[in-house]
Every structure is written in structure tokens, then in C-alpha cells.
Structure 1
Amino acid sequence: MERKLKTSARISVRQITVIGMLSSISILLGVTGLGFIPIPPVKATIMHVPVIIGSIVEGPLVGAMIGLIFGIFSVIQAITVPTPLSFVFMNPLVSVLPRILIGITSYYSYKLMVGKYKTLKIGFGAAIGSLTNTIGVLGLMYLLYVERYAKMFNINTTVAGKSIFGIAIANGIPEMVLSVAITIPVALAMKKLK
């Protein structure tokens, strides 16, 4: 029988271990650059995949905690390894909040999907989690920084908005496909071990 820590959220030792393990993988992907696919002027990421896996296997709290660590890492990386768009990711509303929401939307999409096929349910949860990352980050980037983005690239705000939308499509679709392809086998294996 698994012991629960005495906290109001009742996080088990297993869940803490999963948070640590998957957060480490997410950070490793970021530090080594393996988690980034360069598509100028931004980098598409698969660093959100550990968040999705954690939430589907262990629940929304675990996913949200991994997302929090991923988001904090994004802020630190924006400060320590600056790019032209680092000003966007220094704002926790853009870099942290959507990453926390990945864990919540992935889990509930997985749980609420009707059907008995775990593979489809996991794939759906992974797709929604990935879209949460793309729409959350780029949507907030548009809402908060479209004028600064336009000024930086010397374009008008209409073109800047279209550019951000284009990035969402160009990054979002490959990220979603990769998320589904990676999450399904890993989550199924982890669920069997559980």
C-alpha cells in the first residue's frame, strides 16, 4: 500500500518521484537543445511532452507541477540565453501559466474522452495538451506583445498578428504530431508499470 504524505493535496511519494523524473527530462531537453526545433524566429519545442505524460499517468496536479517547473525553466532560459524574443518569455504569464495549464487540459481531455481505447484517449489528451501550449504561449504573445513584436521586425501590427498566427500553425501541427507519437507509447508503458 502506498503511503501518502500529510499535505492537503495528498501527493504520494510515487507522484513526487514522477514529478522529479519528468521535470528533469524536460530540463535536460532544454539544456542540451534536444527539446527545441529551430523554426526562425522561434524554436518549436517538445519540452511539453513530459508535462503531458505526467498528467495522463499521474493526474492533473502532477502535470501542473511539471508544467510549473518547465515554465520556470523557460523564464530562466530567456534570461540566461537571450534571443530576439526573450522579452516575451521573461513574462511568467506567457512562459509559466500555459505550461501549468498543459497538465490540466491533457488530463481532463484524456479522462473525458469517451471510449475504451486507451491509445486514442492518450493521443487525444496529448494533442489537446500540445495545443494548450501552442495556443497559450502564442495567444498571450499576441495579446501582450504584438506591438513590440511588430516594432522589432519593423512591420505593422496586422502583419505581426498574421506572423504569430503563422508560427502557431507552423509550430503547432508538428509539435502536436510529435507529442502524440511520443506520449502514447511512453504513457502506456508507465501505466502498465503502475
Structure 2
Amino acid sequence: MGKTETLRGTSKFGVRQIAIIGMLSAISITLGLSGFGFIPLPTAKATIMQIPVIIGAVLEGPVVGAMIGLIFGLFSIIQNLTTPNILSFAFINPLVSVLPRVLIGITAYYAYKWTWSKHDGIRIGVGAIVGSLTNTFGVLTMIYLLYAAQFAEARGIGFDAAAKVIYGIALVNGLPEALIATAISVPVVMAIKRRYKN
């Protein structure tokens, strides 16, 4: 644990941090390109592309998590430029696509670090929930603040209903995404930590 904490505390990236950023960023991009990053639900699609960001943040600290989130966000912009949909006008804005994804790594790490529990699995789970909800509510809040009128027009609803619809999506998507992120992140992080110790 001491070695890991020392690495987190340095301002420079070590070989391991660079390798983890590259590997987890590649996983996130692969999930998006393949379609496996989206899990169909009865009313929507839940994304799991935030999970590599959460795992990187909990394992290696907020800077590593933020870097993976940055790459996730930049990929989102490229994806919306190359394969646009009715909301791509919002997702090509870095404040929508990039900023919330960078914040995933920061909020996930500090939620993990500041959770008081002797059980590391609980701390990882809290970090995963907070990181995942940062993604969902962060993206949708930025859409509401910057593009409420365009969102309402794209969805064929009145402007007054935009907030209700946006945060309805946040609840419908956000809770399953947080549960899935927790279910995947906890065993993966704990397995990697055991390997670190060995």
C-alpha cells in the first residue's frame, strides 16, 4: 500500500501509471466502438464506459483517473462528429463531453479515499457510485444549462418540460449505471490490489 500511495503522491507519471492510462483508455474506447459499452434497459441504454475511469482513479489516484476521463471525453466528441445523432450538437462541446468525464476520476478517488470503512470493498463501491453518478448527472446537467432549448426542440417537447425529461433520464440511467459500475469495479479493483501486494 505504501508504494501505491507514494506513486499517487508524485506529480510525474511513472511507467505503471502511463501503462494503466493507456490500457484503461483503450478499454473505454473499445467498449464505445464495439457497442459493448451500452447495456440495453427497458427504457434506455446504460453506459459502462465510465468504469475504466473509476478503476484507474481508485487504483492510481485522481490525476490518472482524470487523464483516462479526458481520453474518454475526447473520444465522445470524435464519436459524435463521425456518427452524429439528435443530441450530437451538445456532445461536441467539451463542457458536456469532456469536463464531466474528467471529474469522474476526481470524485471517484476522493469518495473512495474519504469513505470511512475498514472494508475496502465498501470504499471502492462508494467511489464507483459517486464516479458513475458524476458522469450521468454531470453530462445531463451541462446539457440542461447550455442546451435546454435545443434539447427540447430535438426531443419534440416544450421548453418547460426539458428539466423534467433530462433529470428523468438521469434517474432512469444513473441508478442502473451506478449499480453496474459498482458490481464490476469492486471485484476488479480488489483483484488488482491483491496482485499489487503479491
Common topology (TM > 0.5): yes
Question: 1:51 maps to which residue?
Answer: 53
Residue pair 1:42, 1:85 contacting (<8 A) in 2 also: no
Residue pair 2:44, 2:172 contacting (<8 A) in 1 also: no
Aligned ranges for residues 119-130 of structure 1 at < 5 Å?
119-130=121-132
Shift of 1:146: 0.8
Structure 1 segments of 4+ aligned residues over 2 angstroms from their partners: 37-44
Question: 2:79 maps to which residue?
Answer: 77
Aligned partner of 1:9: which letter? Answer: S
Aligned ranges for residues 159-170 of structure 1 at < 5 Å?
159-170=161-172
Shift of 1:38: 4.9
CA distance in 2, matches of 1:55, 1:130: 12
Question: 1:131 maps to which residue?
Answer: 133
CA distance in 2, matches of 1:42, 1:51: 22
Aligned ranges for residues 71-150 of structure 1 at < 5 Å?
71-150=73-152
2:62 pairs, out of 57, 60, 67, with: 60
Shift of 1:44: 2.8
CA distance in 2, matches of 1:70, 1:28: 11
Distance 1:89 1:39, change over 3 A: farther
Gaps of 5+ in 2: none
What TM-score, normalized by structure 2, do the two folds share?
Answer: 0.91
Q: How many residues align?
A: 190
RMSD: 2.0
Aligned partner of 1:102: which letter? Answer: I
Question: By percentage of residues, which structure has more helix?
Answer: 2
Distance 1:158 1:38, change over 3 A: farther
Gaps of 5+ in 1: none
Q: Secondary structure at the match of 1:116?
A: coil
Question: 1:23 maps to which residue?
Answer: 25
CA distance in 2, matches of 1:71, 1:105: 16
Aligned ranges for residues 183-194 of structure 1 at < 5 Å?
183-194=185-196
Aligned-residue sequence identity (percent) comes to: 56
Distance 1:89 1:42, change over 3 A: farther
CA distance in 1, matches of 2:43, 2:81: 17
Aligned partner of 2:97: which letter? Answer: S
Shift of 1:36: 1.6
